[in-house]
Amino acid sequence: MKLNQIARLTPDATTQYTELKALGFIADPAEDLTTLVQADLPLLFPEAYSDAAKQEALANIAIDDTHTLRDLVEAPMQWLNVTTFYAAALQLLGFEPFTDYQLSDPASFMTATQLPAVASIATSADFLQALYLLLTTRTKHLVNYLDDLANRGFFAHYQDGKETPTYLFFNGKAQAVFDPRKLVREVVWVESDLDTDHDGQRDLLETTIFRPAATDQGVKMPVLFTANPYFHGTNDEAVKAITHVPDPHLAVKTVSHTKAEVTATPAEPMALPHKAIEQTSTTAEVYADEQGIYSLNDFFLSRGFATVYSAGVGTRGSDGLRTTGDPAETASAVAVIEWLTGKRPAFTTRDGHTAIKAWWCNGNVAMTGKSYLGTLSIAAATSGVKGLKTIISESAISSWYDYYRENGLVVAPGGFQGEDADVLAVDTYSRQKRTGDFLRVKPQWDQALAEIAAGQDRTTGDYNAWWDARNYRNNLANITCDVVSVHGLNDWNVKPKNVIKLWQGLQDLPIAHKLFLHQGQHVYLNNVLSLDFTDQMNLWLSYELLGVQNGAKDVIPDVTVQDNVTPQTWHHYSNFGAPATDHSVQSLTLDQATGRGASFVDNATAIFTAHHQTSDDFEAEIVRPGKNSLYDDVRLWLDLPAFADEVTLEGIPTLSLRLWIDQPTAIISARLVDVGDAKRFTPNASVIEASGYQLGYDFKADRIVEFGEGTETASKLITFGHVNAQNPTNAYEIQQIEPGKPFTVEFELQPTHYRLPKDRHLALIIHGADMAQTQRPTTITNYHLDLEASTLRLPLRSDEN
């Protein structure tokens, strides 16, 4: 086990002293070592609140085979030393002697696990330093030790007797001193400038607030806001009905476009009158549901952050219609922030009669969430809205074209073949769940859905003005908030291109951008044990929203990447895939590969159908080495020359192919594969502890997970890409193909960071249709590559640690 820790600060002794005093560990500056030990160690058992109970708790912690912490507290000068202290400390952190470590040698386990220790405990100052370090050390249950103490009631009486409750910061981070059970759960309707349902009225947006009751006593709190279109449910049955069957015909395109032709025109601003306003400070509706909550948000409730959820236009309880990523959805999210920061009205009911202010908000907002939720964080950031200080955007889309299309092809998000923008609109149109409300706008909705179906254009798959209006990267220059991006390197749903293109686009802006890349698919990072992501976000949000000068921007590395070979290992860099600095590009023509000829046929749809395969089956088969793959004839397998030593791919591989086909158009897919028998990480993280990640005292808990090795496999997909043969350079200009006549296509594979050990090699697989992601044409197409004239460019990191 390795418990990597980034967010622990090491302040000077004076600061440590002051902070320990605030926690109650120091009564008198003159206390000697014995007095300190005898006063402080019993405080580490907050669930025991009589002396006798504390004595028993001390006696449960062994310091050697025959003595316990109770002996040590009775006679500190006799028993206290570095070994006994850490023998006990590891038990306090949740580790077990005999199983995890030996009582006589805690040090070697601590080194292996990357837990910090002091060198000596001989004086009061030493002890306080060791105590400070211990309180900020990670436990076996994901959170820090002081968090763990808080989860056991350490701060249960912190606010007692105070007229106005107060925050507590320790080690630069907000501590859990507010009662998460005492929550005010409210609903308001935020007025937007939109009228997406064309009823002549501004769309009002239902917004849910969970605020610690301390706000009622005068504490102004910042907000973690999650714009979650799924918050009020999805229309799963309607989705089944509308999901597209992958088209058996690949269109021959005839019309090419210019950049200007595919550029979106900004919409006119609305000019409807605001509602009449009567003012109140109390809401008229309570929120009683328990679904759609993000555990990272919940973790911060007890730390003095309110959490706010809003699902946006066209969701249950709100006005408007779903629009799948267009500027109206951005405006929905922005409107909530503007209300939170006092610049826009909200009402206690949807009739707009009585206005209510976010009087309890300190004016600082962060956005959080994964997938569509993280996407709307990016969207809101590109508005430059004031008060939005940072976004923590996970597995997010930065351009919707990169979600549903690729290089002139219709592609599916991994696992959701046949999904498209219209399907997602239907899925999230939870306004339908309030039937009385839904029926009033049904004709408008039918019309809007038809417009989405037309705009998305499943015929050509080309980039157009409709998609351009859904490309947040057009507006990156507006971003003024700091950005945290989290993405899975194996996320074939929202593909890594989305985060890396965002990363690249933000490079020249005067903002901080922190990038986390993990080995998961489309999942959250906060409950992964080996990284202190939650604690880093506490450092980050304490700085961004509560103004704590904790150096968060310097402490958190610009780039954190999880290793794909050694479990529980995270690398830290100052850049990602930047060729000018510590990167190089290896360029090789494909005739250098060991292959089986230069031709293949695309007959994949027929094989797929005949064998009743699923998308998962196809994805497993197409990368299986050797002649025994069902799809062996439909792919060109090129084994690349082995590297002399281990290498780390990092960045965006590109491919330039010279080929001819015997049809007027074709799908070209390319997969870069790691080949060699080896134990590799499983696709999904394993559950380490079902309810181990505790989110507060007497409150909720989430599971703890970790990525790790599975059984031996023969190969693994590193990255892939797809291109329409008619789109040789971009997604809107097309070429006419003359069957049998050579042409060239250039395209990027998905960005990657991949360490390839010495005993393994790369293979490049070129094939036609991808049953899991592209359309499924039934036309049998023959391909012939000019390998000498085809080039793969692999970006390599040259300073891998």
Cα gap 474→455, rounded to integer Å = 18
Rounded to the nearest whole angstrom, what is the least distance from the CB of residue 292 to its own copies in the complex? 9
Rounded to the nearest whole angstrom, what is the least distance from the CB of residue 687 to its own copies in the complex? 12
Cα gap 620→141, rounded to integer Å = 35
Asked if 144 interacts with its own copies (CB under 8 A), we say no
Asked if 119 interacts with its own copies (CB under 8 A), we say no
CB atoms within 10 A of CB 692: 20
**CA nearest 405: which of 416, 397, 413, 415?**
413
Task: Output the DSSP codes for 700-727.
Answer: -EEEEEE--EEEEEEEEEEEEEEEETT-
**CB of 570 closer than 8 Å to CB of 520:** no
Stretch that binds its own copies, among 24-32, 96-104, 388-396, 404-412 (CB under 8 A): 96-104
Distances (CA, A) of 10 to 18, 148, 169: 13, 20, 14
Stretch that binds its own copies, among 161-169, 298-306, 436-444, 653-661 (CB under 8 A): 436-444
Site string for its own copies, 72-91 (x = CB under 8 A): -------------------x
Residue 322 identity? R
Asked if 703 interacts with its own copies (CB under 8 A), we say no
Q: Tokens at residue 665, please? A: 């158009």
Asked if 49 interacts with its own copies (CB under 8 A), we say yes
Q: What is the b/e burial string over 268-287, where b = at least 16 CB atoms within 10 angstroms of the residue's CB?
A: eeeeeeebeeeeeeebebeb
**CA nearest 400: which of 338, 334, 457, 332?**
457
Cα gap 181→700, rounded to integer Å = 9
Asked if 645 interacts with its own copies (CB under 8 A), we say no
When binding is defined by CB under 8 A, the residue of 157, 162, 181, 611 that contacts its own copies is: 181
Sequence-distant (≥ 6) Cβ neighbours of residue 742 within 8 angstroms? 658, 659, 660, 786
Between residue 290 and residue 319, which ones bind its own copies under the rule CB under 8 A?
A: 290-291, 317
Stretch that binds its own copies, among 386-394, 428-436, 561-569, 601-609 (CB under 8 A): 428-436
Rounded to the nearest whole angstrom, what is the least distance from the CB of residue 487 to its own copies in the complex? 24
Residue with tokens 């962060």: 366
When binding is defined by CB under 8 A, the residue of 103, 604, 666, 673 that contacts its own copies is: 103
Stretch that binds its own copies, among 121-129, 431-439, 508-516, 532-540 (CB under 8 A): 431-439
Backbone angles phi, psi at 674, to 5 degrees: -90, 120
Exposed (0-12), middle (13-18) or buried (19+): which is 541, by Cβ within 10 Å?
A: buried
State the catalytic residue, choosing from 491, 535, 602, 702: 491
Residue with tokens 């449910």: 233
* Active site annotation includes 522: yes
When binding is defined by CB under 8 A, the residue of 266, 273, 436, 510 that contacts its own copies is: 436
When binding is defined by CB under 8 A, the residue of 238, 511, 555, 780 that contacts its own copies is: 238
Asked if 443 interacts with its own copies (CB under 8 A), we say no
**CA nearest 234: which of 327, 316, 329, 319?**
316
When binding is defined by CB under 8 A, the residue of 257, 386, 433, 761 that contacts its own copies is: 433
Between residue 28 and residue 47, which ones bind its own copies under the rule CB under 8 A?
A: 46-47
When binding is defined by CB under 8 A, the residue of 434, 473, 624, 761 that contacts its own copies is: 434
State the catalytic residue, choosing from 67, 141, 518, 522: 522
Rounded to the nearest whole angstrom, what is the least distance from the CB of residue 238 to its own copies in the complex? 7
Rounded to the nearest whole angstrom, what is the least distance from the CB of residue 430 to its own copies in the complex? 10
Stretch that binds its own copies, among 260-268, 280-288, 667-675, 725-733 (CB under 8 A): 280-288
Cα gap 568→4, rounded to integer Å = 8
Helix (H, G, I), strand (E, B), or coil: what is residue 133? helix
Report the residue number, 252 or 690, with the smaller CB distance to its own copies. Answer: 690
Asked if 48 interacts with its own copies (CB under 8 A), we say yes
Asked if 279 interacts with its own copies (CB under 8 A), we say no
CA angle 197, 198, 203 (to 5 degrees): 55
Provide the binding-site residues for its own copies, judged by CB under 8 A.
46-50, 52-53, 55-56, 58-62, 65-66, 68-70, 91, 96-99, 103, 151-153, 181, 183, 185, 187, 235, 237-238, 284-288, 290-291, 317, 348-351, 353-354, 432-439, 690-692, 694, 697-701
Positions marked active-site: 371, 491, 522
